[in-house]
Structure 1
């Protein structure tokens, strides 16, 4: 089962996150084989705003344990956690994407449906997509939104990946590939 997990930073928690980076990476090392994508979100001035992890886990209980046992969560670095079933519409990991194109930034775009949908939503397509898939209810029967990682020249162009008539509360966050530095 695939899950989308977004730990949103508590305002002012960057110093705490910086002190805990090794604990965070050590924890994530345990899940490396299950990762589809990962990495931090941040503002245009480089301030951390969150941490994205998309991974394949055995069941919802394992996903909840992953999200809430994370050292930064335990230490109070995050204000909240968005944890949803997810479907890997592209069928690849971020490492399959490659180095990307020059002059483009990477973004996380989240959109939420007006009401839960029983029918599948056509996922965005295109060469700029790194990972894309619907946010699903716990039983995967309802579509609640969409999570997309992509490259774009700016936040406004990134936002265009989701149809404005289909999604509300669209969020656009600068994002970068995560993991231990080489």
Structure 2
């Protein structure tokens, strides 16, 4: 017995043809979903104005580590807490946006850092953090690698650099000893189109 489905125009489709069309549509939907899904990795986004000594002189008004995860975005014109810490499976952000105000002058600054060519190819176990120094934003990648002897003086502006290997990725790409890494960064630039 052969099953046929007819259209109003009088042409007949076999069940096999109909299944092929449905399979092609499902494949197209699956591919589209994969193309728009963000790259998710277990890593952290954190900042600490107390330990990095920029709070209470500076008030963070807004931050966004990408736009794919609500836990890494906050905004309040009256000011936000001077620190946060989020770690777990989350999308690797393409940008970091920070807006802040200097309490002494009331001046407001903002910076949007394109992270696509500044992050390591494998961000697993790493943290992204920032430090504010007046009108300048500094962004760091903190690796999971512990420094063998805890340092008494931080080599970079972030407190993390006293006990974990860290790299400045904005405004310049620099190692813990403050040398400019440029293209010789300890990771290959990871331009992602996820």
On whether the aligned pair clears a TM of 0.5, the verdict is no
Please report the TM-score for the alignment, with normalisation by the length of structure 1. 0.30
Please report the TM-score for the alignment, with normalisation by the length of structure 2. 0.28
More helix by share: 1
